[in-house]
Structure 1
Amino acid sequence: MPQLIRIVTRSSPMALAQVDRVRALLAATHPRLVTEVVPVTTSGDRWLGALSALGGKGAFTKEVDAALLAGEADLAVHCLKDMPGDRPLPEGTAVAAYLPRDDIRDAVVQPAGLTLAELPAGSRIGTSSVRRIAQIAAAHPELECLPIRGNANSRLAKLDAGEYDALLLAVSGLERIGQAERITQVLDADAMCPPIGAGILALQCRADDSATVDAVSALNHASTWREAAAERMMLHALQGHCNSPIAGYAQAEPDGRLSLRARVFTLDGKRVLDAHEWAGALSPEELGMATALALLRQGARELIDGIPH
């Protein structure tokens, strides 16, 4: 009998598009394998208030994790940036593969085609990300960030309805839902440092499900795995919470060298801690720890703990 893999995912259009990508890759790698989709609506999808009221990013993953652990599904597809970094994966699960990394940058979507620098003072920017808010406050204090929740499609609808003057969204997310043509400006990663895990899809299985682990492991991208390992270790070592403006990205060079750039901000963007480390002989995890230590020496612990959550 062909092997069946049931894939659990959030039910948003972007999440379903991501699962379609995984299904296509599995079909190309294992032609006899059969997949089916198990959509769930998470508490993070239902809640339109601040994520801190739900315990942070785990609001987007706990129902998916529960379906996996209950045996209702065999594989979960996550945006790595939505997976909590201050605690380990749920016991009994493991990431079997990271897909090749997509664009890590943020994008501006503005109906009149304006860039951030061209927007008039007081323009309303839709974003609930403390990481984005801090960097906008530092670079464009004349602009006003207003909270916005919901999936990317619903946010675009709110922009079109005139509730905001511009949105900040992930380039990769807009590409995944076929809305890349709406991008007005792509922000360089040094100008708008991305979230940890940006552009990476993580494929999570039950650790003891060797058949699924073996099938999915064939999709793993080695360079992305190294980048993810460094970033996640750094985030874990910093023990940030959902209101912590922490940003960073690792970069694996073609010659094998690995670096990690990371920043920690105050909410108003007036203070920025910056670290940029190279692995050398260090493992990706050791690079992540070294980068975290560089930030902690600059006062990251006090900065993070001083932000209410």
Structure 2
Amino acid sequence: MTEALPGWSLAYSGKVRDLYVAAGQSLETAPEMLMVASDRVSAFDQVLEPAIPGKGELLTELTRWWTERLGLPSQLAPDADARTPEPVRGRAMLVRTLDMLPVECVVRGRVTGSGLKEYQRLGSISGVSLPDGLVDGDALPEPIYTPAWKAPQGEHDENVSYERTVELVGEADAAAIRELSLSVYARAAEVAAAAGLVLADTKFEFGRDRVTGELLLADEVLTSDSSRYWDAAALEAGRVESFDKQIVRDWLAANWDGEGAAPELPAEIVERTAARYRELIERLTGAPSIGE
């Protein structure tokens, strides 16, 4: 469900985020946009019901914390907080509009998820050859960059090789986003490890500022929706305890065959997921999360 914000027009509604521009403008021309994180949750390309209470604020808090913690160039517009509409303050960011690169930059430190399935078929992920015998959750010899092509709305993203990203965005930008992705992942993984967490994988998106041409991290950064965080002690004991929407993925995989509309999430799954989102922020930042 989107919201009516005086002075703003809804320009795009995605699975979990809504983009607004100033009334009378469009995404193609607006110098700024309001990026609102909803409480909606998606899995297997489905938006599920009910939403996860507080999720939008938690993801926004996490993006902003990581941006400040790692000293990353910010997409935030000048005086963003003061100019953010009150009804969505706390789960929205007023940002500079970027010309987005059509590449999803995935970095993996562990083999799991869709990467595991591709590895089991091909012995590689996005063209990166890997050792034989890896199983779910195994650490990779070193983090790998496994990009995907950002498909148009309504189509599925497609894992591609690095060489294909060169064709998509040019050699200079392809090299820059690969280097930035690996660098940010490595720094974040160290911070996570100090909090007793394993950053199994994450994905980034980049765009260029329309005025300055600066290449910036866009959208969410190292959130529970864009990353897999695991408890390090549990992993050492042979269990995977995740701090993301894996609880939702697992329940849906066990209770839905992929045909027709996805079933409604049970209240227990919703609350467990919300609790894990909150716990992740508390573990990382050492402070109570919003809503506690």
Q: Which has the higher helix share?
A: 1
Q: TM-score, length-normalised on structure 1?
A: 0.26
Q: Which has the higher contact order (CA 8 A, sep 6+)?
A: 1
